[in-house]
Structure 1
Amino acid sequence: MLKGVRKAFNESFQQEAHERLLQEIESEFPGQLDFRVAETPVFLDQGFKTKLLMAGNLIIDFIKKPDFKEITEKAVPEAYKFKDEGEHCEFLCFDFAVCESDSGEYEPQLIELQGFPTLFAWQHYLAAKYRKHQKIDKKLSPFFNRINAFNYTEELSKVIKSKSSENTILLEVYPEKQRTKIDFELSKAYFGIEVVCLSEIYTRDNHLFYQKGGTEVRIDRIYNRVIFDEVERKYPELKGKISFLKNAEVKWIANPSWFYRISKYCLPHLKGSYLPEAYFLSDINRPDDLKNFVLKPIFSFAGEGVNLNPTIKDLEDISDRENYILQRKVQYSPFIPGTDGEHSKGEIRLIYIWPEGLNRPKLITSLARLSKSNMLNTTSANGAQWTGSSSVFSESH
């Protein structure tokens, strides 16, 4: 990565500055931060950044194929086929492990992809906090494609809210209980939208409503953060809501069907240097080198259900084999030296928006998750230094 920048950051790093960063977040959003924030951002050099962009473009080329919907039709369960899906998904996220090639160079390797929103508001907020409290070179930016700190929220707001006359809400299940609740509060602040629980939604004449201060409010657009198969598994008391939402007169940003189309279901179809081979479990008995593969349920979130060391028995015990994939393991590289002498591993997520009228999605920012364990998510940080949620800064050109 940017070795000179990393060296300078580590030498100037003060734990007290990071504590001030955390204290400021707590003062601005009391009790809302429910995951660990890493002490350091990630600093990308141009070589690694170029590899990420190349890999992202290969994935987008696949998503833009004329027969993409035909290829992924089986990915969408009948229960979650929502009305007016649209021609493309408004949000794309691609997660890459930071690995090391045989020649000793850092390279990205795709872990998974999502047609679903991510922590848009939180990442903007966090990058600004790093820049305020730590010494970050002014030539480095967390943005792409002429996006900057001034127009980032404006670009996102155009996708999320569209016309100002339409009423847009952020929809989640019991948002106050979710670990990403700080992003919901920031979304409310940045985009001027209400955060509404699925339990509060009701329908009349095929339109959706909720109550605000005793007044009925009609919903025109939904910035959707609900994963609907999780509703059935975790919140059965809300299962009945799904049926009337499917055919309601409302604009979804993004339509829930895209969560299933642009998912790990795509991995077996993707080929390229930074796209590890993957197979549907239903298409393969077992690879001869099973120890080199990870078993993943196609429809899961935040690493849930991933088996890093599957056995033959594990494969044989699965009845719905079409809902699982085997993906070749990647070796995370401990690429970030810490001030404590230890190194952190990480994943980088490329974050795209796809506004109406654009032929291709637009990369706007990224995020990082740092860890010292084998699972790369903010839950796995376990309090270790230089682990958790982080931002990515790179040279802008």
Structure 2
Amino acid sequence: MIKPIRNAYNSNFSEEKYQAFLKDIDGTFDYHVPFKIAETPVFLPKALKQKLVEACDDIMSVINKPNFKELTDGAFFYPNTIVPNEDEQSKFIQLDFGICEDEDGNLTPKLIELQGFPSLYYFQELVGQKYVEHFGNVIPQGFSQHLNGMTSTDYLDLLKQEIVGDTNPKQVILLEIEPEQQATAIDFYATAEKLGIKVLCITDLKKRGKTLFYLDENGGEVEVLKIYNRIIFDELHQRTDLKTEFSFQDEIDAEWIGHPNWFYRISKYTMPLLKGDYVPKSYYLDKLERIPTDLENYVLKPLYSFAGAGVQIHVTRGMIDSIANKSNYLLQEKVAYAPVIETMDVPAKCEIRMMMLYNSKTYKTEIVSNLMRLSKGEMVGVKYNKDKTWVGGSTGFFEG
């Protein structure tokens, strides 16, 4: 995006350096990362950074409305999904933007999706560090993964403050389903190393009354006081084979760090509530009075799915007419990603996730990091980018 920096990076790049970079990441926890890590970070110019901040502010002005919960009560699709003791703010918010060009050829972000759920907060710090270590001679001074002067130390201290706080780390758990089998397991390992907390499968969580506990390596009971939840509910509802003592609907004496209800409230369900220059037109399909005639300019999304499952990018009237339960779908204006990152063959398109965190000391939700996805396919996803290079997960360095 910043031509001199991009030219310098590409000229400096070699496959040997890239393989050393990947080997270093895999060696950090003696674990092979199963997803594609891109050959390059992304360098974001100041003007685009300012637009991203403005876009986040616009969206947060809706999420912070006093009646936001009332507006999103319809988001709880699965039966018996509401979790007790919901808090007033989502601890974690992710806003995904496609990088596009406006009519004048200037870069601008357009919202793709959003979620009130944690992302790869620790892995992104690790991958950014490794880009600097292996390609740092062409990453300019003054460029950072973070905003507003936040350093890596500030970032890690803030995460520790919000996830662990004054609690004994041994009594804080990261909760997942078979965490070692998840594609994002490296983030769990990085989190556990930095915070000293336990990574636990839901099947290993035990319950007595309202008390949750797990057994340590010596068989001793450890009461759980805080739960950093990483379970995606789509997977939980599909895993009917799991034998658990704990249900999310139980009343418990533990605090949710990232209350599960925000997974539903801040989601695709929120899209039609948002307006502005950085948000595509979005409609609940069952509330749409007239189907647009230019359906080639729209995508059809299931409201209650994860990781792009069920998204239709070539929408037809027949496809819409065949949907029995239209209340489960969203019709959203297509976002035209711009191929703005020069690579060794064709340019790549990119998407940026602005990773946000509610700071309990300042009472504000802050942009704290980012995640980039590079793509050369129709969509940003593994199946659309098979056998392509200079695609995959990455991070962005913002111009100061």
Distance 1:313 1:239 in 2: 42
Q: How far 1:293 sits from its partner (Å)?
A: 0.7
Contact 2:206–2:246 (CA under 8 A) maintained in structure 1: no
2:102 is the counterpart of 1:101: yes
Q: Deviations over 1:235-265 (max 9, x none)?
A: 1123865636532221111111000000111
TM (normalized to structure 2)? 0.94
The C-alpha deviation readout for 1:158-199, integer Å capped at 9, x for no partner, is 111121336110000111111101111111111111110011
Partners in 2 of 1:315 and 1:198 — Cα distance?
38
Show structure 1 runs of 5+ residues with no match. Answer: none
Is 1:253 the counterpart of 2:257? The answer is yes
- Pick the aligned partner of 1:350 from 319, 344, 354: 354
What is the CA distance between 1:378 and its match in structure 2? 4.7
Q: Which amino acid aligns with 2:256?
A: W
Question: 1:131 and 1:66 mapped to 2: Cα distance?
Answer: 42
More off after superposition, 99-108 vs 257-266: 99-108
* Counterpart amino acid of residue 310 in structure 1: V
Assess, with a 3 A threshold, how the Cα gap between structure 1 residues 239 and 73 changes in structure 2: closer, same or farther: farther
The structure 1 segments of at least 4 consecutive aligned residues displaced by more than 4 Å after TM superposition are 239-242
Contact 2:205 2:244 in 1 (8 A): no
Name the CA distance, whole Å, in 2 between partners of 1:67 and 1:47.
33
Q: Mapping of 1:284-295 within 5 angstroms?
A: 284=288, 286-295=291-300
1:311 aligns with 2:331: no
* Equivalent pair of 2:207/2:246 in contact (CA under 8 Å): no
2:168 to 151, 165, 168: 165
Q: Indicate the residue corresponding to 1:370 in structure 2.
A: 374
Tell me, what secondary structure is at the counterpart of 2:26? helix
Secondary structure of the corresponding residue to residue 315 of structure 2: coil
Gaps of 5+ in 2: none
Distance in 2 between the 1:346 and 1:80 partners?
A: 34
- Residues 1:201 and 2:205 aligned together: yes
Q: What is the aligned counterpart of 1:325 among 330, 339, 344? A: 330
Q: Distance in 2 between matches of 1:2 and 1:92?
A: 28
Match of 2:6 in 1: 6
Q: Percent identity?
A: 39
1:52 lines up with 2:52 in the alignment: yes
Question: Residues of 1 paired with 2:205 and 2:243: CA distance?
Answer: 12
Aligned pairs for 1:132-171 within 5 A: 132-134=133-135, 135=137, 136-165=139-168, 167-171=171-175
CA contact (8 A) 2:234 2:305 kept: no
1:275 Cα shift?
Answer: 0.4
TM-score (norm: length of structure 1): 0.95
1:299 — aligned with what? 304
Aligned match of 1:124: 125
Bigger shift: 197-206 or 159-168?
A: 159-168
SS at match of 1:146: coil
- The whole-number CA distance in structure 2 between the counterparts of 1:380 and 1:390 is 17
Cα displacement (A) at 1:394: 1.3
Give the aligned residue type for 1:30: D
* Distance in 2 between residues matched to 1:379 and 1:137, nearest whole Å: 33
**Which of 259, 278, 285 is the matching residue for 1:281?**
285
CA contact (8 A) 2:207 2:245 kept: no
Q: CA deviation at 1:70?
A: 0.6
**Shift in alpha-carbon separation, 1:331–1:241, aligned structure 2, 3 A:** farther
User: What is the alpha-carbon distance in structure 1 between the residues aligned to residue 384 and residue 223 of structure 2?
Assistant: 40
SS in 2 for 1:81: coil
Count of matched residue positions in the alignment of Structure 1 and Structure 2: 394
